[in-house]
Structure 1
Amino acid sequence: MELFSSYNLIIEGALVLILSFWFNGLSKKTNIPSVLMLIVLGVVLQYVAKAFVPALPDFFPILEILGIVGLIMIVLEAALELELRRDKFWPIVKSLTIAIGGLMASTWVAALILENLIPGMSTASAWLYATPLSILSSAIIIPSVGGLSEAKKEFHVYESTFSDIAGIILFYFLAGQLNPAEAVGPAGFAGTLALTLVIALVASYVLILIFQSIKTQAKQFLLIAVLLLLYALGKKLHLSSLIIILVFGLVIANMKLFFAGPLRKYLKEDRAKQIYHELHIITLESAFVVRTFFFVVFGLTIVLSSLLSVKVLLISVLILASIYLIRFIFLRVFFGSDIRPQLFIAPRGLITVLLFYGIPMEARVEAFEPGILLFIIIGTSLIMTWAMIRDKQKMVTALDEIEEEYDKLDEAYDAEQELELSQKPTPETGLTPPVEPDNLQEEE
């Protein structure tokens, strides 16, 4: 049976998308991340495929392309939802501080664990392996926190987005240090970052001014194609390309802020808003499709036997413990005691896989077990699932208690109304209830 013929691939792809849509609905009811269901689906499909074909093809090239496009779509989707207002300043600062502080601390501790427990692991290699394990997955977090309060949901969107960008910048900075000819110091790195921001701002203004003047209907995928081109060219020039995507999303989502003063006359607000709304919808749909196939293909590549190693278990548990301990400290400092379920919402996912496969050959260590990566992705997702389900149960309990109190107040009000009615004259008797004067003894 030819599993990978043209029509079979169309059928398989269509069924995967239908199942993914169903997983999203199931996720909202159960709080189990749909991404986890997609990975399990991929693992199941792997064993089904092995029953019909002797060997599976190499999925890595597909996985890499899906990961890059998915990363761009997810960051753009998040940026389009971020509002830059004065009242958002402190939430953004808190989220940025927790994201970067947690990333650096988690990477440092994970690098120490890997360096000491894996033979042949140098400090430079340990940091490169530890960085992907320390990045939050906005691909998992953003679709999963819709049921939380607005403030907590906003925090997770900001934090996961900042963690993605900061983690990617850190990874490629560390990878660049492996080659002395291309290595840059902190000053050079800061200069590159500043140059990327300038290019991102200029490109964002130019794109909005050009596309608001295009009158044809099919221009949204043209805009996405231009963004993909800018991202790829930026990577070729060793720029932090993801910042270009983030800045463009922020500019078009907050166009009144960026086109203030003299620039306002250049903005065709109605057309720019139309571009924003259409781009938001297409980005959302595209991110859904890319995310679906990425995690299913990732499931197809998973080797479950790698989870059976005692060493993998030990290293993974130590890294997981460090992740939540560091997260507890940061959240406690910035948010006090109200840190649930935020403490446990720290999944690893798309970027972790993408960067892991992007580790340069000169930094690779044969003794590193891929099962560590898999264990941490599954472990953080399961912990998040448990926390979200528990939080939902607490909310249901709290709502039941509120409803019970409301019912008691309603019953008390009804009883009071009945008492007042019983004391009024009725047409049948014409009698009024006796009145007992307060000063009866004084009258006597």
Structure 2
Amino acid sequence: MEIFSSYNVIIGISLIIILSFIFNGVAKKTSVPAVLLLIILGIILQYVLKAFGGDSIDFFPMLEVLGIVGLIMIVLEAALELKLKSDKLMPILKSMAIALIGLVASTFIAAVILKALVEGMTMQSAWLYATPLSILSSAIIIPSVSGLSEAKKEFHVYESTFSDILGIMLFYFLTGRLNPAEDAGVGGFFLNLILTIVISLVASYAIILIFQKIKSQVKLFLLIAVLLLLYGLGKKMHLSSLIIILIFGLVIANMKLFFQGKLRGYLDFEKAKSIYHELHVITAETAFVVRTLFFVIFGITIVLSSLLSLKVTLISVLILISIYAIRYGLLRLFMGKDISPQLFIAPRGLITVLLFYAIPAEAAIEGFEPGILLFVIIGTSLIMTWGMIRDKKRNPTPVEEANEELEEGVEETEYFINNTTDLSEIDDAEASDEYETE
């Protein structure tokens, strides 16, 4: 029987998406990240494929494409949520500072650990391997924090988005330094960044003004195709392409801020607003499907035996300790004492995997065990799960508190009625209450 026949693939993908939807419901009830359940599903499928002789397929090209598209969709989805208002300036700056300092400090400590414990690792290669391990996963964080207070939810959306973008910029800055002939240095890096921002703003204004005039009902996937094209061309030109996606999302989500003065006269706000809402929906849906397929395929490619190495465990545990020690210090410095569950919400995921596979061949170290990557991803996800469950028990949501009070009220009423022998006693009790009130 052909495992990867057309109908089997359709059935398989459909079942995976249905299960992913169920996992999201389970995640909301239990605080277990849906991503973790998807990876477990992928591991199960790995053994199913081996049993039927379908384990010879190379999933990496598919994983890479899904990772890139997923990354674009997740950053766009996050950018569409960011409202740039004066009262949001401090939370945004705090989140950016925590993301930047946390990224650099975690990368440095992880690089020192890898340099010391991995045979053949140079400090330059160690920085390159440490960077993916230091980037927060917005793919896991954003869907997982919906039940938190508005302020904490905003912090995690800002922080994880900045961590994604800054981490990717740091990674490609480090890869650029591998080849001295192409290395533009720090000055060239910042010049590249400024050029990317200018191109992003011009492209964002042009896209919005053009697309508001398109009357066809089928234009949202055209818009996404344009964004993917800009991302791909930006990569070919060695620009920080993810900033193009971020700035477009910020511009269309904050049109009144960006279209002022004479520019406001060119904007049909109602049509542009309609594009924003429709784009928000289709981005969220696309990100959900891509994220689902990415983590399931990642689970299929995992080599579980690599987790059994004592060296892998030692390195991974040291990296995990450094991650949370640095995070604790930063949160106490910038946020004060109220740092739960923020302290525990630091998972690694999609970008960690994607950048790990993007490490150039000239920087690859044979002594580095991929199990370290898997251990850190699973470890941070489990710690996040524990932290979310702990916080949920300590601080139930207003809805849960209202339900508890309602249940207590019903129980008290039932007890009072069951222990009253005569209806006249109830009337007497009510009369007595009224009297005391008067």
Does structure 2 retain, via aligned residues, the 8 Å contact 1:99–1:159? yes
2:64 and 2:354 in contact (8 A); partners too: yes
Aligned residue in 2 for 1:219: 219
1:369 equivalent in structure 2: 369
Unaligned runs of 5+ in 1: 426-444
Aligned length: 422
In structure 2, distance between residues paired with 1:24 and 1:323: 27
8 Å Cα contact 2:346/2:384 also seen in 1: yes
Equivalent-residue separation in structure 2 for 1:416 and 1:157 (angstroms): 54
Q: What pairs up with 1:144-155 in 2 under 5 angstroms?
A: 144-155=144-155
Change in CA separation of 1:400 and 1:251 when aligned onto 2, cut-off 3 Å: closer
CA distance in 1, matches of 2:185, 2:314: 35
C-alpha distance after superposition, 1:94-113 (max 9, x if no partner): 00000000000000000000
Q: How does 1:60-209 map to 2 (within 5 A)?
A: 60-209=60-209
Provide the secondary structure at the position in 2 that maps to 1:359.
coil
Contact kept? 2:96, 2:162, Cα under 8 Å = yes
- What SS class does the counterpart of residue 80 from structure 1 fall into? helix
Q: What TM-score, normalized by structure 2, do the two folds share?
A: 0.93
- Matched residues in 1 for 2:172 and 2:283: separation? 26
Kept in 1, the 8 Å contact 2:3–2:54? The answer is no
CA deviation string 1:199-220 (max 9, x = no partner): 0000000000000000000000
Matched, 1:262 2:258: no
- Using the TM superposition, give the Cα deviation of residue 421 of structure 1 relative to its aligned residue in structure 2, in angstroms: 3.6
Q: 1:313 is matched with which residue?
A: 313
Consecutive aligned runs of 4 or more in structure 1 exceeding 2 Å deviation? 395-404, 414-425
Q: Cα 1:152–1:6, aligned 2, differ >3 Å: closer, same or farther?
A: same
**TM-score, with normalisation over the residues of structure 1?**
0.91
Instruction: Measure the CA separation in 2 of the matches of 1:391 and 1:215.
Output: 49
Question: Taking structure 1 as reference, are residues 424 and 25 closer, same or farther at Cα in structure 2, changes over 3 Å only?
Answer: closer
User: Deviations along 1:81-104, whole A, 9 cap, x unmatched?
Assistant: 000000000000000000000000
State the match for 1:244 in structure 2: 244
Mapped partners of 1:424, 1:96: distance in 2? 55
Distance 1:377 1:139 in 2: 12
| Structure 2 residue ranges without an equivalent (≥5) | 414-426
Shift of the 54–198 alpha-carbon distance from structure 1 to 2, 3 Å rule, reads: closer
Does structure 1 retain, via aligned residues, the 8 Å contact 2:102–2:330?
Answer: yes
Alpha-carbon distance in 2 for matches of 1:286, 1:54: 28
Residue 403 of structure 1 corresponds to 405
Q: Distance in 2 between matches of 1:356 and 1:336?
A: 34
Alignment-derived partner of residue 428 in structure 1? none
Question: What's 1:289 paired with?
Answer: 289
Q: CA deviation at 1:59?
A: 0.5
Aligned to 1:435: none
Identify the residue that residue 439 of structure 1 maps to in structure 2. none
Q: Which deviates more, 371-380 or 49-58?
A: 49-58
Q: Contact conserved, 2:66 with 2:293, CA < 8 A, in 1?
A: yes
Provide the rounded CA distance (Å) in 1 between the counterparts of 2:191 and 2:46: 46
Task: Say yes or no: does 1:41 pair with 2:41.
Answer: yes
Q: Which amino acid aligns with 2:262?
A: P
Shift of 1:423: 7.6
* Rounded Cα–Cα distance in structure 1 between residues aligned with 2:76 and 2:245: 6
**Equivalent AA in structure 1 for residue 279 of structure 2:** L
Q: Percent identity of the aligned residues?
A: 70
* Structure 1 letter corresponding to 2:62: I
- The answer on whether the counterparts of 1:49 and 1:56 sit within 8 Å (CA) in structure 2 is no
Cα distance change of structure 1 residues 123 and 307 upon mapping to structure 2, 3 Å threshold: same
Contact 2:42 2:298 in 1 (8 A): yes
Once residues 129 and 211 of structure 2 are traced to their aligned partners in structure 1, the CA distance between those partners, rounded to angstroms, is 41
Looking at CA atoms only, which structure, 1 or 2, has the larger radius of gyration?
A: 1
1:350 and 1:424 map into 2 onto residues whose CA distance is: 62
1:417 positional shift: 7.6
**1: distance between equivalents of 2:296 and 2:5?**
18
Match of 1:441 in 2: none
CA distance in 1, matches of 2:342, 2:47: 35
* Cα offset, 1:403, TM superposition: 3.5
